[in-house]
Structure 1
Amino acid sequence: MPAYNTTIFLNDANGQMANEIKVTTNEFGSFNGSFKLPEGLLNGNFSLHDQNTSGSKYFKVEEYKRPKFYVEVNKPTGTYRLNDSVQVTGIGKAYAGNNIDGAKVTYRITRRVQYPYWWWWGGYGRYGYGRNEQVEITNGEVKTDEKGEFKITFKAIPDASADKKGQPVFYYEVNTDITDINGETRSGSTYVAVAYQMLQLNINTPDNIAADNLKELNITSTNMNGIHEKATVNVSIHKVKSPNKIFRERYWQMPDLFTMSKEEYQNYFPYDIYKDENDNTKWPLGDRILDKSDTTNLDGQWAIGNKKLIAGWYKIIATAKDKYGEDVRTEKYIRLTDEKQNPREIGEAIAIDTKKIFPATRRKN
Structure 2
Amino acid sequence: MRYLLLFCAFLMTALLADSAAPGPTPPLAAQWKKIDALLKKDRTATAAPLVEKIYQQAKVERNSPAYVRALLYKIRLLSNKENDADEKAIALLEADLKTAAFPARPILHSLLAGLYSDYYNQHRYQLYERTQGAAPTADPAPPSAANGGPDLATWDAGRLGAAIVRHYYQSVEEEPQRQLATTLADLGDLATSGDAEGRALRPTLYDLLAQRAIAGLQNQELYITRPEQQFQATDPRLFGSAQEFAALKLDAPAADSLNGQLHALRLLQRLTAQRLAANNPAALADVDLQRLGYLRGITQNTDLADHYEPALARMAEAYKALPISTEFIASHAQAQREADPTAAVALARAAEARFPKSRGAARARAVRAEIERPELAFSAAGMVVPGQPWRLDIVARNVTELHAFAYRITLREWATAGNGNYEERNRPLAQRFAHALKAVPAATWALPVPMQPTEYEEHRFAATGSSLPLGYYLILLTNQPKLSLADPALASSVTAYALAGASELSAVSRYQMATDIPQLLVLHRQTGQPLAGVAAQATYQFYNQDGTRSQAVKSEATRTTADGIVELSKTLKQQERPLAAAKIWRGTDTLLLQNLPGVHSQPIDNQPQRHAFLFTDRAIYRPGQTVYFKGILTQSQAANAKLLTGQPVSVRLLDVNGQIAQTLTFTTSEYGSFSGSLVLPTGLLNGEMTLQTDNGSLSFAVEDYKRPTFLVTLDSVPGRPQLGQPLTLAGRARAYAGPATDGGRVQYRVTRRELWALLEGGFRGRSSYPPGGRGGNQEIAHGTTTTDAEGRFSVTFTPPAVPQQPGRRGWEPGYLFEITADVTDAAGETRTGTRSVVIGRNPLSLQLSGPELLDRQHLPALTLLGTNATGEPLPATGTLRLLVRRYHPNLPGVPGPAPED
The two structures have a TM-score, normalised by structure 1, of 0.45
1 or 2 for the larger relative contact order (CA 8 Å, sep ≥6)? 1
Larger Rg: 2
Higher helix share: 2
The two structures have a TM-score, normalised by structure 2, of 0.20
Higher strand share: 1
